Amino acid sequence: MLSIILNGCFGRMGEELQKEIYNREDLNLVAGIDRTKQDAAFPVYQSLAEVNETADVVIDFSHESSIPHLVDQCVQKQLPVVIATTGLSEQKKQKLQEASRAIPLFYSANMSLGINVLIEALQKL
């Protein structure tokens, strides 16, 4: 069972990921992170710093402004992370490079092969 924290859980992609995760018995959504508040079947926080649940990986479909803090927290908590958010500046991409020396980090601005690519990436992580 792979435990997942979903950053941007209430966005369009976050909602799609929620459905995919619930449809699979080998995936478990342990917590979500979003700047908006909504009812959910899982605990929701505004920052990874607040999340107490343990997980195998963080999946991010959010906003570029959230990436530096998210990555810092992933490094601090030693959590592997998949980042799909687009629009990252060169400075933020450089930050991902640096973080990838400390934790498993998969970044792609084009997951066009869909959710299967993401799941394959998770298995590799």
How many of the other CB atoms lie within 10 Å of CB of 48? Answer: 24
Closer residue to ligand NAD in complex, CB, 24/35: 35
**Considering the complex, what minimum distance in angstroms separates the CB of residue 23 from ligand NAD?**
18
For ligand NAD, the closer of residues 7 and 18 by Cβ is 7
Applying CB under 6 A, the residues found at the interface with ligand NAD are 7-8, 10-14, 33-36, 61-63, 65-66, 84-87, 108-112
Residue nearest to ligand NAD (CB): 11
Q: Nearest approach, Cβ of 113 to ligand NAD (angstroms)?
A: 9
- State the minimum distance, in angstroms, from the CB of residue 95 to ligand NAD: 15
Output 11 or 80, the one with its CB closest to ligand NAD.
11
Cα(100)–Cα(102) distance, rounded to whole angstroms? 5
As a whole number of angstroms, the distance between CA 95 and CA 114 comes to: 25
Please name which of 117, 72, 118 lies closest in space to residue 92, comparing C-alpha atoms: 72
Dihedral sign computed on CA atoms, order 45, 123, 63, 67: positive
Instruction: Give residues with Cβ within 8 angstroms of 125, minimum separation 6.
Output: 56, 57, 80, 82, 104, 106
What is the closest distance, in whole angstroms, from the C-beta atom of residue 68 to ligand NAD in the complex?
10
